[in-house]
Amino acid sequence: MNIKFTTKVFGAVAAALLLSTSANAAKCGKVTIADMNWASASLMANVDKAMLEAMGCEVELVAGSTMPTFTSMNETGQPDVAPEIWANAMADLVDSAVGAGRLHIGNIAPMSGLGEGWWVLPHTLDAHPELTTAQAILARPDLFPDKEDPSRGAFHGCPAGWGCQLSNQSLYKAFDMEALGWNLIDPGSAAGLDGSIAKASEQGENWFGYYWNPTSLVGKYDLRAVDFGVPYAGDDNWVGCIALGGDNCSDPEPSAWINSRVNTLLSDNMYYNGPKGAMDYFSARTWPGTVMNEMLVWMEDTGGTGADASVEFLSSHGDVWKPWVSADVAAAVEASL
């Protein structure tokens, strides 16, 4: 073998690949993605990074959180991508920015099954399949005894200072839960709330209360969302009364929990100048809630970061993500793992 010749050929191929990659990166340019400060959003940001790099972009992850990221995008156009913006509290601001063309919604619902509400453990429904709605559960406080007062049921609300504490106070009043034999329990902290669920699951006890999805805890303990048995009673009732708390909401109407609005937001530059296929990717990129929860459990159990989890997800869930992109991009992503 002519080693000198072979080395030249390999060098030429490597140079060609480098030039090709550089040309693609130059065409796409630099893209910034908000690496939000919670697990699901960080995982999503790292997966978005892998996809856009496979499309030829130079991608930088920047620290983010809901309001600061939105404000920066709205005022400066940076970062280019916010993978998971929970927009309920600022829906008017988001709609105004989108209406003015400063921002764009890349995906109106980047995950399935997400949201807040009331939950029970699966073994409770296995033993009592008749508990199909909140009303059915509320008629059976005896199944969920308060450890401090076993004659009454325990409904686990939110810790003091959380916005959901106020909403649960109002719903406790709206569903007349005190008269039905229920106590509203303040878990004291996030750890207290999580601990109450973990203990009930491990000891085979019944548990009823507030939680949200996606979370590792919903995935780990297979929490089941409760059907409120009534429709959402409107923004006037929720925003103007329920969200204000029991002390400031004198006559709340029973209601399902307000729908959680979660969007993927894109900058104007990303929307118009992003790489070929990027908009199709973002619009197709809807994570199944069960898969997201599985990944959140993996992160918690292993101590893995969003970057670690992105490799695990891309390696083990090709059936989920490959339909989001072209075959060429999928091959490039797999080659990068």
Residue 306 phi/psi, 5° resolution? -60, -35
Q: Which domain holds residue 207?
A: 115-244
Total structural domains within the chain: 2
237: in domain: yes
pLDDT per residue of the chain (337 residues) written in tens, 0 to 9: 343 333 333 333 333 333 333 334 446 889 999 999 999 999 999 999 999 999 999 999 999 999 999 999 999 999 999 999 999 878 899 999 999 999 999 999 999 998 999 999 999 999 999 999 999 999 999 999 999 999 999 999 999 888 899 999 999 999 999 999 999 999 999 999 999 999 999 999 999 999 999 999 999 999 999 999 999 999 999 999 999 998 999 999 999 999 999 999 999 999 999 998 999 999 999 999 999 999 999 999 999 999 999 999 999 999 999 999 999 999 999 999 9
Considering the domain architecture, whether residues 23 and 136 belong to the same structural domain is answered as: no
Residue 252 domain-assigned (yes or no): no
Do 27 and 14 lie in one domain? The reply is: yes
Question: What local confidence, expressed as pLDDT, does residue 156 receive?
Answer: 98
The count of other CB atoms within 10 Å of the CB of residue 250 is: 10
Q: Do 107 and 210 sit in the same domain of this protein?
A: no
What's the pLDDT score for residue 6?
A: 35
Looking at the structure, tell me whether residues 127 and 230 fall in a common domain: yes
Q: Can you tell me the distance from the alpha carbon of 78 to that of 11, in angstroms, rounded to the nearest whole number?
A: 38
Whether residue 199 is found in the same domain as residue 286: no
213-240, pLDDT tens digit by residue? 999 999 999 999 999 999 999 999 999 9
Q: For residue 142, what is the DSSP state?
A: G
* Residues contacting residue 300 through CB under 8 Å, at least 6 positions apart: 39, 216, 220
Clarify whether residues 80 and 152 are in a common domain: no
- Domain contains 86: yes
Residue 226 within a domain:
yes
Q: Is 238 found in the same domain as 119?
A: yes
Whole-number pLDDT of residue 88: 85
- The CATH number linked to 75 is 3.40.190.10
Residues 137 and 239 in one domain: yes
CB of 159 closer than 8 Å to CB of 209:
no
Q: Which residues contact 313 (CB under 8 A, 6 or more apart)?
A: 43, 47, 291, 295, 320, 321
Torsion (CA) 206, 210, 211, 212 in degrees, nearest 10 = 140
Q: Are residues 157 and 179 in the same domain?
A: yes
Do 127 and 109 belong to one domain?
no
pLDDT tens digit sequence for 106-154: 999 999 998 999 999 999 999 999 999 999 999 999 999 999 999 999 9
Question: What does the pLDDT read at residue 29?
Answer: 87
DSSP letters spanning 52-63: HHHTT-EEEEEE
Q: What is the pLDDT of residue 27?
A: 62
Does one domain contain both 187 and 107? no
Cα separation, 55 vs 243, whole angstroms: 43
219 and 157 fall within a common domain: yes
| 48: in domain | yes
Write down the pLDDT at residue 296: 97
- Report if residue 282 sits inside a domain: yes
Residue 249 included in any domain: no
Distance (Å, whole) CA 98 – CA 196: 41
- For residue 13, the model assigns a pLDDT of 34
What's 124's domain CATH number?
A: 3.40.190.100
Q: Give domain status of residue 59, yes or no.
A: yes
Read off the pTM.
Answer: 0.84
Evaluated on CA atoms 277, 282, 288, 294, the torsion sign reads positive
